[in-house]
Amino acid sequence: MVRVMVFPRRYVQGEGVLADIGKYLAALGDSALLIWDQNVSDMFSESVMKSLEENKVKGVPFVFSGESDRTQIGLGIDMVHKAGVKVVAGIGGGKAIDVAKAVAWKGGTKLVTAPTIASNDAPTSSATVYYTEDHIMDGWEVWPGNPDVVLVDTQVIVKAPVRWLVSGMGDGISTWFEAEAAYKGRRGAISGGVSTLAAWTLARLCYDTLMTFGVDARRDAEHKVVTPAVDRVIEANTLLSGLGFESSGVCTAHAIGNGLTAVPQCHAFTHGEKVAFGTVTQLCLDEDKDPAERNRVVDWMIDVGLPVTFADLNMSDVTEAELLNYAAGFVGPGSIAHNHVFPVTPFSLFSAMVAADALGRERKALKGK
Ligand SMILES: [Zn+2]
């Protein structure tokens, strides 16, 4: 049994740090490919290019399609080779960052990730999740290292729609339960080993931070202000969740979150929203979980605005046969759902999803929602 923990080389979080990106890029090289989508480019290219100029870094923009697919990654690698850049920076959501990781590792450059939303834990990790051009998850790849710099501008993040911050909480709330489940079976994480005390502790801190500050952070973020609650939740969603999941392991919550990308009714939902429902399901699947704690987590999800029922995920019209079929897909050979210490079958997962939906409906009714 080998314990492995992996990290980005530097994590920077604060108000206005994106407008200083040139300073961080200059420490890594004198030219950078900037990967962003059209929307992010429209919002930030002026301030980013100014910072590059001030720090004597040549910026080469690459406006990608918005999807983390192999075509976009190929285009990015071509640009790295043609322009001979030393650094790749992914600026935007998880997909821009995942494309940037692949382009940097395959192109042989340094890597900076600068999330403009705190919707998931991609910015710190060494993995790229691939999607098809039709937005269905299409596997993932783990790179030999993590980003050189993770640059998290809290002022930028709090100005984005609050749904993204809430989605990041959905991704983050799963971290502790998945870490705990994976470690019980001494299952390895994508870091290449089993959890360390450090990753284990950070996964737990992620959970405690979100449960304590999540509701306040949502309210404050609706008013577009960075408060201590918002600052802590951004760190939980990005750093704590990222280090926790990557070096402690994932399990059923993510098997479902990833699997739901193949359910057409769910296409409009974010990664974190799907993982939130996956977390409720995992808590209903695991006989060791305390029902009182499970209920507290579901109540918290309702309070912050995460989906806890089929109806919340637009899945009300999915038939029992379809659901069983999806469940079979989620626990196929090699599925991360098998990281539990107990066997997970299509039928046990189907049953847990039905139980999660019923629990979610009951807790919402108790709250009058
Ligand atoms: Zn995730």
Distance 104 CA to ligand 1 centre (A): 21
Question: What is residue 146's predicted lDDT score, i.e. its pLDDT?
Answer: 98
CA of 193 to the centre of ligand 1 (A): 19
> 52 C-alpha to center of ligand 1: Å?
31
* Å from CA of 204 to ligand 1 middle: 16
CA of 223 to the centre of ligand 1 (A): 26
Residue 286: give its domain's CATH number: 1.20.1090.10
135: domain CATH number is 3.40.50.1970
Are residues 340 and 225 part of one domain?
Answer: yes
Ligand 1 mean position, distance from CA 316 (Å)? 24
Q: Is residue 190 part of a domain?
A: yes
How confident is residue 135, by pLDDT bands cut at 50, 70 and 90?
confident
First to last CA, the chain: 47
CA-to-CA dists, residue 50 to 22, 54, 75, 84, 167, angstroms: 8, 6, 25, 21, 31
* One domain for residues 107 and 228: no
pLDDT at 6 (0 to 100): 97
**Distance separating alpha carbons of residues 332 and 129, to the nearest angstrom:** 18
Distance from residue 369's CA to the centre of ligand 1 (Å): 27
d(CA 28, CA 31): 9
- Residue 55 Cα, ligand 1 centroid: separation in angstroms? 34
Task: Tell me how far the alpha carbon of residue 1 lies from the centroid of ligand 1, in angstroms.
Answer: 25
- E strands, the chain, are 11-14, 31-36, 58-63, 87-92, 110-115, 127-131, 137-142, 149-153
**Same domain (yes/no): 101, 181:** no
CA of 272 to the centre of ligand 1 (A): 6
Domain range holding 223? 161-366
Res. 134 pLDDT band, cuts 50 70 90 = confident
Shared domain check, 281 and 149? no
Cα(169) to centroid of ligand 1, in Å?
10
How remote is the CA of residue 170 from the centroid of ligand 1, in Å? 8
Domain co-membership, 154 together with 166: no
CA of 91 to the centre of ligand 1 (A): 18
Ligand 1 geometric centre to CA of 270 (Å):
10
> What is the reported pLDDT for 1?
85
- In the reported structure, the alpha carbon of residue 184 is separated from the centroid of ligand 1 by a whole-number distance in angstroms of 20
Pair (139, 173) in one structural domain: no
What is the count of structural domains for the chain? 2
What are the pLDDT digits (tens) for 350-359? 999 999 999 9
**Cα–Cα distance measured from residue 192 to residue 326, given in angstroms and rounded to the nearest whole number:** 29
Residues 137 and 195 in one domain: no
Q: Alpha carbon of 165 to those of 20, 219, 345: distances in Å?
A: 23, 11, 33
Within a domain: residue 4? no
26 CA distance to ligand 1 middle (Å): 31
270 and 311 co-located in one domain: yes
41 C-alpha to ligand 1 centroid (Å): 25
Both 225 and 286 in one domain: the answer is yes
Whether 6 is in a domain gets the answer no
Distances (CA, A) of 18 to 24, 115, 239: 10, 9, 17
Q: What is the DSSP letter of 333?
A: T
What DSSP string describes 198-266?
A: HHHHHHHHHHHHHHHHHHHHHHHHHTT---HHHHHHHHIIIIIHHHHHHHH---HHHHHHHHGGG-GGG
- pTM for the full model? 0.96
C-alpha of residue 121 to centroid of ligand 1, in Å: 6
User: Domain end: 142, 158, 174, which one?
Assistant: 158
Give yes or no: residues 168 and 87 share one domain. Answer: no
Same domain for 152 and 58?
yes
Look at the block and give the residue holding tokens 């971290």: 175
Q: What's the gap in Å between 82 CA and the centre of ligand 1?
A: 33
| 337 contacts 331 by C-beta, under 8 angstroms | yes
Rounded distance from Cα 254 to ligand 1 centre (Å): 6
How much distance in Å is there from the Cα of 335 to the middle of ligand 1? 15
Q: Could you give the percent of the chain with pLDDT greater than 90?
A: 96
The residue out of 115, 132, 158 marking a domain boundary is: 158
2, part of any domain: no
Tell me whether residue 1 is in a domain.
Answer: no
User: Per residue in 1-57, pLDDT tens?
Assistant: 899 999 999 999 999 999 999 999 999 999 999 999 999 999 999 999 999 999 999
118 alpha carbon to ligand 1 midpoint, in Å?
12
Å from CA of 271 to ligand 1 middle: 7
- Whether 186 is in a domain gets the answer yes
Does 102 map to a domain? yes
Query: What distance in angstroms lies between residue 237's CA and the mean position of ligand 1's atoms?
Result: 10
Q: What is the mean pLDDT of residues 303-323?
A: 97
Determine whether 243 is exposed, middle or buried from the number of CB atoms within 10 Å of its CB (0-12, 13-18, 19+). Answer: buried
How far away, in angstroms, is 343 Cα from ligand 1 center?
22
User: For residues 308 and 301, is the Cβ–Cβ distance under 8 A?
Assistant: yes
Domain C-terminal end among 158, 192, 211: 158
What's the pLDDT score for residue 107?
Answer: 97
Type of residue at 189: A
181-199 pLDDT, tens digit per residue, is 999 989 999 999 999 999 9
Q: How far is the CA of 250 from the centre of ligand 1 (A)?
A: 9
Residue 242 counted as domain residue: yes
Quick one: pLDDT at residue 48?
Answer: 98
Kindly give the distance from the C-alpha atom of residue 171 to the centroid of ligand 1, in angstroms, as a whole number. 5
Number of Cβ atoms within 10 Å of the Cβ of 60: 17
203-256 pLDDT tens trace: 999 999 999 999 999 999 999 999 999 999 999 999 999 999 999 999 999 999
Residues 105 and 231 in one domain: no
